[in-house]
Structure 1
Amino acid sequence: MNKYKSGFVAIIGRPNVGKSTLLNRIIGQKIAIMSDKPQTTRNKVQGVLTTDEGQVVFMDTPGIHKPKHKLGDFMMKVATNTLREVDLILFVIDATESFGSGEQFIVERLEQTKTPVFLVINKIDKIHPEQLLAVIDKYRTRLDFKEIIPVSAIEGNNVNTLLTQVFDYMPEGPQYYPADQVTDHPERFIVSELVREKVLHVTREEIPHSIAVVIEQMKERNNENVYIAATIIVERSSQKGIIIGKQGSLLKEIGKRARKDIESLLGSKVFLELYVKVQKDWRNRPLHLKDFGFKEDDY
């Protein structure tokens, strides 16, 4: 009889290479927010995959980049600390992007770890198969990758092959989480992330990095509907105006889109109230970062 395997896997890479899309594809449902804007993921999002063979806990880390403010410092600490805690690292790259200083920055950090590293070449649906060989050639000399696996996270191509290889590298171990649990994050965290995702989807360029979402209240009512009050934190009054929109139209749209995903997550009707609050320069203030859930002492 095969021994039960379990372990921890870090998904790392530059911002916007499709790490969250890959995590959601692996887990089979949405637990990490997705946006075409860089630095969408700020905390470690842990996804749990349980099969007959074993259990793997995947950690989707913030995109590794040179930090520009205290929030950036926090995101980098989360990403690099994760590398010390895992049994395997998936270095995800975008097949359509050339090797640049961002990739070099990550490779230099991977050179310092003894953890096995897979190169996962994502977005292969966007290139010709012949171009793939050139990408592989470019990377294979940069680091001693244990495996090089091309995938399309959005289409699902080759993801099962990747998972087979991941399980091959997992040690024997216990089941850490119940079989039906797909994330270690509380529902409030995922709800706040779903609201933040919708803000990213509907607002202009100047908004994304300067918002946080705080769940003020989340409670089940007698009729089994869930009431949620959430505050969207921005840094400037002008951003507050943008998020609210003309006669509240944008805020309404954010609420409508977020409610749909939250209902899907919770499996019940949701009444969602959104507020917008200005907190000047919050990304550089440790106290605000702590209030909004970015606690360095957790890592």
Structure 2
Amino acid sequence: MDAESSGFRAGFACFVGRPNVGKSTLMNALVGTKVAITSSKPQTTRRAIRGIVHRPDAQLVIVDTPGFHRPRTLLGERLDSLVLSTLTEVDVIGFCVPANEPIGKGDRFIVDKLAAVKKTPVVAVVTKCDLATREQVAHQLLAVSALAEFAEIVPVSAQGGEQLDVLADVLVKRLPESPPLYAGGELTDEPEQVLVAELIREAALEGVRDELPHSIAVVVEEMNPREGRDDLLDVYAHMFVERPSQKAIVIGPGGARLKDVGTRARQQIEALLGTRVYLDLRVKIAKEWQRDPKQLRRLGFYD
């Protein structure tokens, strides 16, 4: 019996929400492995990364999008444009609101944008329920239901694994009947070099000052097996910041911070690729790259 005749469903869902509401953590939890980087810093996600959930009855492809916000730079405009284009291409939208924070202007801004996407059902997802009391969760569910008419509202905890199966069922129910879109073993369609660059950026984001994260970009220039060795991968990457003062923060006294970033990134890359890695990581200055169209293209942020 083929997938289509057996009622198999396959399609795309995306998570949207303001920065730092737990979208990437939620996608990783549903997929069952890390395909998107996470950080306590807002606006960590800069690309629409796809994670693939395989079930006997369905294949759910989740698109994790950057946090939606009022842009202040050309990079911010590009990210918001990416989110808007993604909304029109998926079968169902998950609007994420954290249980432990009050509804704010940013949430209402996104709800207004979602109102324009008339044909796509929107499921409200109340995230981070492990960080809130039962009373807070109940209050947030009422507050979210007052925001707009949603197809359903589902409270979840990605960290605790609570209600993830319920959310997956709710999303799958709104996918079209279709054969699988990806091969059974695939968990993401991101190129390995992009995933490696993202893991390096995640390691760099941890522990830096608040003003730095949006100024960090990472490009993997080269990634090849070591000549004569099949157990070692050479990775050459550049981390770009906008100012000399930021370069000093990333490198740290005597290069200690950069060394720590490299060590943590290498461990994550080895876990991802299943092989030993030599990581050559250099820091460069790309002045005001977030506002420069030419540099944005060079760093992978296209129109």
TM-score by length of 2: 0.96
SS of residue in 2 equivalent to 1:202: coil
1:197 equivalent in alignment to 2:168: no
The residue that corresponds to 1:223 in the other structure is 229
Structure 2 CA distance for aligned equivalents of residues 286 and 53 of structure 1? 44
SS at match of 2:206: helix
Pick aligned residue for 2:300 from 273, 293, 299: 293
1:169 partnered with 2:174: yes
- The aligned residue for residue 256 of structure 1 is 263
The yes-or-no answer on 1:282 pairing with 2:284 is no
Aligned to 2:44: 40
Structure 1 contact 35–197 (Cα < 8 Å) conserved: yes
The amino acid across from 1:165 in the alignment is V
Q: In 2, distance between residues paired with 1:122 and 1:249?
A: 36
Deviations 1:80-117 (A, max 9, x none): 11110010000011111111110110010111112101
Which range is displaced more, 64-73 or 216-225?
Answer: 216-225
The aligned amino acid for 2:70 is K
1:111 is matched with 115
Q: CA deviation at 1:136?
A: 1.3
Counterpart of 1:85 in structure 2 is 89
Aligned to 2:149: 144
1:236-275 correspondence runs (5 A): 236-275=243-282
Match of 2:191 among 175, 186, 190: 186
SS of residue matched to 1:30:
coil
Q: How many residues align?
A: 296
Q: What is the CA–CA distance in structure 2 between the aligned matches of 1:214 and 1:263, rounded to whole Å? A: 18
Equivalents in 1 of 2:219, 2:77: separation in Å?
Answer: 21
Distance 1:249 1:132 in 2: 42
Residue aligned with 1:90, SS: strand
Once the two structures are superposed, residues 247-281 of structure 1 have per-residue CA deviations (whole angstroms, 9 ceiling, x without a partner) of: 11000000000001100110000000100000100
1:3 corresponds in structure 2 to 7
Q: CA deviation at 1:54?
A: 1.7
Q: Once superposed, what is the RMSD of the aligned Cα atoms?
A: 1.0
State the Cα deviation string for residues 131-185 of structure 1 (Å, max 9, x = none): 2221111121221111110001111111111111111111101211111111111
Give unmatched runs, 5+ long, in structure 2: none
Q: Is the 8 A contact 1:9 1:58 kept in 2?
A: yes
SS across alignment from 1:135: helix
Partner of 2:79: 75
Instruction: Please give the secondary structure, in 2, of the residue aligned with 1:99.
Output: coil
Given residue 231 of structure 1, which amino acid in structure 2 is its aligned partner? H
The alignment partner of 1:131 has SS state of helix
Distance 1:174 1:189 in 2: 28
User: How far has the Cα of 1:27 moved from its partner?
Assistant: 0.8
* Partner amino acid, structure 2, of 1:142: L
Shift of 1:2: 3.2
Contact 1:236 1:279 in 2 (8 A): yes
Amino acid corresponding to residue 246 of structure 2 in structure 1 = Q
Is the contact between residue 100 and residue 136 of structure 2 (CA under 8 Å) also seen in structure 1?
no
Unaligned runs of 5+ in 1: none
The Cα shift of 1:24 comes to 0.5
Structure 1 distance, partners of 2:202, 2:152, is 32
- What is the DSSP-based 3-state SS (H/G/I as helix, E as strand, rest coil) of the residue aligned with 1:175? coil
SS in 1 for 2:165: helix
Q: Are the aligned partners of 2:16 and 2:23 in contact in 1 as well (CA < 8 Å)?
A: yes
Q: 1:223 corresponds to which letter in structure 2?
A: R
Cα distance in 1 for partners of 2:293, 2:50 equals: 24
Query: Hey, which bits of structure 1, 4+ residues long, moved more than 4 A?
Result: none
State the secondary structure of the residue aligned to 1:198. Answer: helix
Measure, in 1, the Cα distance between the counterparts of 2:224 and 2:196. Answer: 13
Partner Cα distance (2:176, 2:104) in 1 = 34
Post-superposition Cα deviations, 1:10-65, rounded to whole Å, max 9, x if no partner, equal 11001000000001101111111111111100110111112111211100000000
